Amino acid sequence: MVVHTYTQQMVLMPLPMMGYMYEAPMKPFELPAPAPTEETSESPPLGIFPSPFAPIFGPRTAICVLRTDMDQEGDISGGVFVTQELEGGPIILSGTVQGLKPGNHGFHLHRDPISANDCNTAGPHFNPFNVSRRHPRFLARRVNTHGGPNDKNRHGGDFGNIEANELGVAFVSIQIPGDMISVESGGEMGIIGRSIVIHENEDDLGKGGTPESLKTGGAGKRQACCLLMNLPTQPTK
């Protein structure tokens, strides 16, 4: 029997519907590879780990495990779940981030997958319906500038801010419309394989009156980031 070893950092995840905190294992744990089938004899990809949350969250769920940017000081960690019950429906982000300075921090979805812990490789904000594209809910082509998560004129990756308390802990609880992004792989709106980035400063939601405000919200350096991955919907046997 082939055995794959997965290693996870501790992540505390709040589950409102269950009323308790889940502590992910800090030491490696082992999973047997599934038996080969007629379609494939390959082992499951590393980096996508099973979770007890899968039966709760359902198939349209992604997970993102945060790490500090390689060029930044500090030890930021945590994780975020992104769920969408129905295609085109609202998207809910929930999770916990630790190690931040107290206050608000820009919290965005970026276009590209990160390489190692280099948050600068995540590219710009995810903005799928920019110049020369027609969104089904827009009557005309337009240039989307940066805004708040519920603004009509915004990037698809504009999630607003998360607020860290005096202990440096931020509890993520954000709901955004599902009209510009979707919890799926591929396509113009798919977020799987893209990155979430936490910034040093507060996002001014495009209302700062400067060109940078209309681009990034003036949120400053990229302090931490993570790659969005599919959350398996069935426990691995």
| DSSP type of residue 89 | S
Of 135, 154, 158, 194, the catalytic one is 158
Of 60, 67, 105, 155, the catalytic one is 155
Number of alpha carbons in the 13 Å side-chain half-sphere of residue 56: 10
Of 125, 135, 154, 194, the catalytic one is 125
Decide if 157 contacts 228 (C-beta within 8 A).
Answer: no
Whether 105 is catalytic: no
Of 60, 110, 154, 194, the catalytic one is 110
Strands (E), the chain: 3-6, 12-15, 20-23, 29-32, 61-68, 77-83, 91-98, 103-110, 158-164, 170-176, 195-199, 222-227, 229-230
Of 69, 194, 199, 204, the catalytic one is 199
Of 108, 135, 154, 194, the catalytic one is 108
Of 146, 154, 179, 194, the catalytic one is 146
Residue 106's φ and ψ, nearest 5 degrees, are -55, 140
Whether 155 is catalytic: yes
Whether 199 is catalytic: yes
Decide if 62 contacts 80 (C-beta within 8 A).
Answer: no
Whether 69 is catalytic: no
Active site residues: 108, 110, 125, 146, 155, 158, 199, 222
